[in-house]
């Protein structure tokens, strides 16, 4: 499947084990829209646990993770921290945040 314009493709080192038992490593992220960041900030889970903000935001911009088309914040919690850092870095780069931006 062809990538949409502006999407970033990357490969996770450990990946995410899906409900089918397969490990999904190939990820695609699209650039965020303003509404993605606003909706992530308004999400009730973020109000209860602010540390979930990156997971909620990433779940909105990940267009594909292996064969999974939809990724939710709960499944992203199972990611290896190194893979999560890779996704966060890709998010920051694809949205033109300065290199020294806090995660």
d(CA 44, CA 64): 24
Residue 64 lies in a domain: yes
- Residue 50 has a pLDDT of 96
Residue 98 lies in a domain: no
Residue 71 lies in domain? 8-75
Q: CA dist 26 to 39, 57, 67, 98, 103, Å?
A: 26, 18, 8, 25, 22
Residue 68 lies in a domain: yes
Residue 62 lies in a domain: yes
- Residue 68 has a pLDDT of 85
Residue 92 lies in a domain: no
Cβ pair 91, 29 in contact under 8 A: yes
Residue 34 lies in a domain: yes
Residue 17 lies in a domain: yes
- The tens-digit pLDDT sequence of the chain (103 residues) is 566 678 999 999 999 998 888 999 999 999 999 999 999 999 999 999 999 999 999 999 999 999 987 899 999 999 999 999 999 999 999 998 877 666 6
- Residue 61 has a pLDDT of 96
Residue 83 lies in a domain: no
- Residue 70 has a pLDDT of 81
Question: Beta strand pairing status for 8-17 and 62-65?
Answer: unpaired
Kindly report the pTM of this predicted structure: 0.88
d(CA 30, CA 28): 7
> How many domains are there within the chain?
1
């Amino acid at each position: 499947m062809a990538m949409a314009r502006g999407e970033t493709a990357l490969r996770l080192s450990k990946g995410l084990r899906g409900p089918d038992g397969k490990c999904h490593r190939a990820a695609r992220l699209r650039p965020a829209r303003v509404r993605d960041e606003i909706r992530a900030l308004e999400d009730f889970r973020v109000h209860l646990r602010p540390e979930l903000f990156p997971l909620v935001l990433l779940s909105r911009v990940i267009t594909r993770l292996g064969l999974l088309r939809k990724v939710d914040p709960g499944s992203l919690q199972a990611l290896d921290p190194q893979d999560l850092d890779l996704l966060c870095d890709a998010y920051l780069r694809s949205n033109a945040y300065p290199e020294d931006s806090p995660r």
